[in-house]
A = this chain, B = another copy of it.
């Protein structure tokens, strides 16, 4: 490995001058600077980031906390897209990303400790139980943190316009003529509250009275939970004409469950998802859903994180990213006569 000293020797100057030349300091003669740069390149010099970090306290590393109980981390249809965008944007700015985990090498370790070991410059958190004590600790630390789809006074946050998303989807269903709509909602977290607000808002506007049986508790990205939700629904003696699922993945398994029970989609029940990932296009007919702008979410998260760490100031900016209704074939106007429950 060729060091800054080797370059200095080869150039007949000091390591300080080489360092300055490489870092664009103004107090180095233009000629010597060029000589040094040329020589450095020629010798294949690559700066050692560890050494640099030791003196500058910057590792050019941003931590990523992506942990999903149900759908193991990186394979998550929706979050892997966000992560990809986080990564791309970080790299464009010269940062590498490191996954933060507890339990490294068999040693229990808090997220914060992991960050401190690696001297992470900033952290992006998504897809996790934000109420976790360790996550809270990390958010309250003095490491700059950006969260995706959460709201906290301690950190900056990027999120989709969830209220609007479910509002639009519901509004769309209503515009097709649906009035009996059931929303199978995901884990009871911040995002879910927002979405339920959007759901109620759309009902409200259409003067459809909200009743508790329009909500069914389900879970995000969990096949079985959504099959269960359908099973639960089928016990009713009056079926809704439309059903919204927590996300596209859930919707797909939900549709399968409905069909396995002899319910036609969309003829008997219209279905809507959420996320707008590609799997929604793979099934037939294409899933009606709300597309989240994953690349913007990820990009904004990276940028905000980097902006904070570079200005050495933690703030709690909130950025909302727009969503888009994707009409598919899983919805249609409700039939006047339902098979199981003829309507008046």
Q: Which residues of A contact B (CB under 8 A)?
A: 1, 46-51, 53-54, 59, 72-75, 77, 80-81, 83-84, 87, 91-99, 101, 103-107, 113, 116-119, 252-253, 256, 259, 279, 282-284
Contacts and interface: CB of A to CB of B under 8 A. Distances in A.
Contact of A117 (B47, B75, B117, B252): B47
A61 B191 CA distance: 34
B93 A105 contact: yes
A76 to B, nearest CB: 8
Given A74-B80, A84-B73, A283-B282, A48 B117 contact: yes
Contacts of A80: 74-75, 80
A8 to B, nearest CB: 18
A46 B93 CA distance: 28
A273 to B, nearest CB: 12
Copies in the complex: 2
B74 A91 contact: no
Contacts of A103: 91
Nearest to A75: B80
Nearest to A118: B49
Given A118-B49, A252-B282, A282-B283, A72 B94 contact: no
Contact of A96 (B54, B77, B104): B104
Nearest to A63: B96
B97 A99 contact: yes
A77 B71 CA distance: 13
Given A51-B54, A94-B105, 15 more contacts: A46-B113, A50-B50, A73-B84, A73-B87, A92-B106, A93-B105, A94-B106, A96-B99, A96-B118, A97-B99, A98-B98, A253-B282, A256-B282, A282-B282, A283-B284
7 contacts: A46-B117, A50-B50, A50-B53, A74-B83, A75-B84, A91-B103, A92-B105
A119 B50 contact: yes
Contacts of A284: 256, 259, 283-284
Contacts of A51: 50, 54
A101 B72 CA distance: 24
A99 B87 CA distance: 9
Interface centre among A46, A103, A279 (most CB of B within 10 A): A46
Given A252-B282, A256-B284, A50 B46 contact: no
A94 B104 contact: yes
Contacts of A92: 105-106
A92 B106 CA distance: 6
A93 B51 CA distance: 24
Contacts of A259: 284
Contacts of A47: 117
A106 B95 CA distance: 11
Contact of A119 (B48, B81, B282): B48
A291 to B, nearest CB: 15
A168 B198 CA distance: 51
